Amino acid sequence: MAALSPSPAAEPTTLRQAAGDRFLVGAAVRPDQLARPESAKLIAEQFNCLTAENVFKPQSIQPRKGEFNFADADKIADFAAKHNMALIGHTLCWHNQTGRWMFEDAQGKPLPREEGLANLKAHIFAVAGHFKGKVKGWDVVNEAIDDGGPYLRDTPARKSIGDDYIIQAFKFAHEADPNAELYYNDYNIERDYKNAKTVRLLNELKAAGVRIDGVGVQAHWGIAWPDNAELERGLKALAATGLKLHFTELDVDVLPRKGESANITDVQKSAGSTAENPYVKGLPDEMQKKLADRYAELFRLIMKHGSQVERITFWGVDDGSSWLNGFPIRGRTNYPLLFDRQFKPKPAAAAVMKVLREEGK
């Protein structure tokens, strides 16, 4: 066979190649996606970092006191190890997807501080201990900043233990796995309404002397929001703490919606009208282009922070698996990721690849 013209070997063809050693490029996954050959292949080819979408959460791992279930979580850890991917632990302490027993008594009253602390410590020691040496870093505490109030969200952990539950969680995580990186993770912390509260928390954690390596900006964004100037301002303030920046749950909602938060309790009724669910038959070309442009713009904006950016993780792999098909309105057809329902790259994937190549030169 005649020699083909030399392929441009220097040109990367996957996200993980294109990101190179600048930052990790990750995806949130579920065990069923790793078991399906089509999605498993795509995940292994494109990403070099995994987060479990649900199965590392307290409700999955310790649904009842002292009853541990690591089987699903181990599937994700094993896949990551087999494919030479970093593994992020999400999450050790959260007000959602956590058994009520951890911080409340049978009547729903907060447990006495010592009992809540003991439950938190036992959970963190068991889980971070189990994954010692396998997890690069932990989202130690998730979503502790209040959306509306002046500072901390009034979670079951806070009601039982007190404001220092966050500091305690970071201490326990460090004791349980001294080599793991530790992160604080939250949504909308780059937005004006939450940014100063978050910077305050990060500085308090640093002042308390606990190990904290990075801040997780969830990055559940939309096609027309947040405003880029606000985004840049917020990221700059987070970067000024000196912590590494992790973009931990990136997706771009293309559907109409009222609120802009990722608070899962805000989920509404099922979609009724075409106005609520406009692209059931496919995303029009014009919207594909808008999504591609938005992704390119967001990557350029993120990459302005250079080596302070340690990771960009997508919250899902393909559009069909995204939580945004069910949030904030159930039963919609959304298109927030780089790969379509047939696992094919969308124009947005090409746009991101182009930015990664250009910014790498």
The contact set with ligand G3I (CB under 6 A) reads 53-54, 96-97, 142, 187, 218, 249, 262, 264, 323
Q: Of 235, 214, 225, 114, which is closest to residue 170 (Cα–Cα)?
A: 214
Nearer to ligand G3I, 299 or 315 (CB): 315
CB of 113 to ligand G3I, least distance (A): 26
Residue count (the chain): 361
Nearer to ligand G3I, 250 or 303 (CB): 250
Name the catalytic one among 53, 143, 181, 190.
Answer: 143
Nearer to ligand G3I, 187 or 335 (CB): 187
Which residue's Cβ has the minimum distance to ligand G3I?
A: 323
| Known catalytic residue at 190 | no
- How much of the chain is in helix, strand and coil states, percent to nearest 5? 40, 20, 40
Nearer to ligand G3I, 77 or 351 (CB): 77
User: Are 310 and 246 in contact, with CB atoms under 8 Å apart?
Assistant: yes
User: Are 244 and 305 in contact, with CB atoms under 8 Å apart?
Assistant: no
| Known catalytic residue at 67 | no
> Exposed, middle or buried by CB within 10 Å (0-12, 13-18, 19+), for 258?
exposed
Name the catalytic one among 53, 181, 190, 249.
Answer: 249
Q: CA-to-CA distance for 352 and 295, rounded, in angstroms?
A: 6
Instruction: Return the amino acid letter for 251.
Output: D
Q: Of 293, 354, 356, 279, which is closest to residue 324 (Cα–Cα)?
A: 279
CB of 104 to ligand G3I, least distance (A): 18
Range list of H helices, 10-112: 15-19, 31-35, 37-46, 58-61, 71-82
Range list of H helices, 83-226: 113-130, 156-161, 165-176, 192-207
Q: CA-to-CA distance for 100 and 92, rounded, in angstroms?
A: 14
Q: How many helices (H) and strands (E) does the chain have?
A: 12, 11
Which of the residues are catalytic? 143, 249
